Amino acid sequence: MKLGVFGGSFDPVHNGHLFVAEAVREACGLDRVLFVPTREGKHYRDGAMNASSEHRAQMIRIAIAANVAFALDESDLVPDATGYTADLLPRLQARYPGAVLSFVVGGDSLVRSRWKRLDEVVDMVEALVVAPRGGVSHDDVDSALAELTPERRAKIHELDLPTVDESATRIRDRLHAGKTVRYLVPEPVYRYIAEHGLYRP
């Protein structure tokens, strides 16, 4: 089985996430895409507007319910999870023995975050799939990957997709300001946020 691993805070999951996951699944011939929310950690966004792990997982669960090729995996929400991809991937490999893993990352995350042990991550996957995000160029991605060996660079797949402008930060900001986010997030997520009063002042 070919599994895509889509990690992130998903705070909240939005339509851009779903589009990227489906586009990666199609482009890479994946059997399933796992949405893997990360636990709050020292590198997680600070702020009172963040939703709890339980809320974030539930929003993913209801957002992906209609797509049988999507699944929620909570391996990175357990108490001893470090939040680092290099520690997550062995857990997933043990949970899905025999699966071939590809890791999905937004270009903005790859370029603007401090990735630790990126070489280990690349060694553990069939492909590191980079989706265009946040105005990041091909040259930016090249610079972020400059220290990888040519063998590891060969595993990097940059996808040619329409740029997705939705961002969880913008969605949280709109909600905090009392503005609508309907149609930026899946309808069940929109209702869930309203029902639970998430991201409100």
Is 196 within the bounds of a domain? no
**Could you tell me the residue range of the domain that residue 24 belongs to?**
2-165
Is 191 within the bounds of a domain? no
pLDDT value at residue 134: 67
pTM, whole model, 2 decimals? 0.92
Is 179 within the bounds of a domain? no
Is 187 within the bounds of a domain? no
Distance CA(140)–CA(133), nearest Å, equals 11
Is 190 within the bounds of a domain? no
Is 24 within the bounds of a domain? yes
Phi and psi (nearest 5°) for 200? -90, 155
Question: Which residue, 31, 48, 49, 43, is CA-closest to 7?
Answer: 43
Is 140 within the bounds of a domain? yes
Q: How many domains does the chain have?
A: 1
- pLDDT, mean over the chain: 91
- Residue 32 in this model has a pLDDT that exceeds 80: yes
Question: Which residue, 18, 3, 28, 24, is CA-closest to 95?
Answer: 3
- Residue 7 in this model has a pLDDT that exceeds 90: yes
Residue 7: CATH number of its domain: 3.40.50.620
Is 185 within the bounds of a domain? no
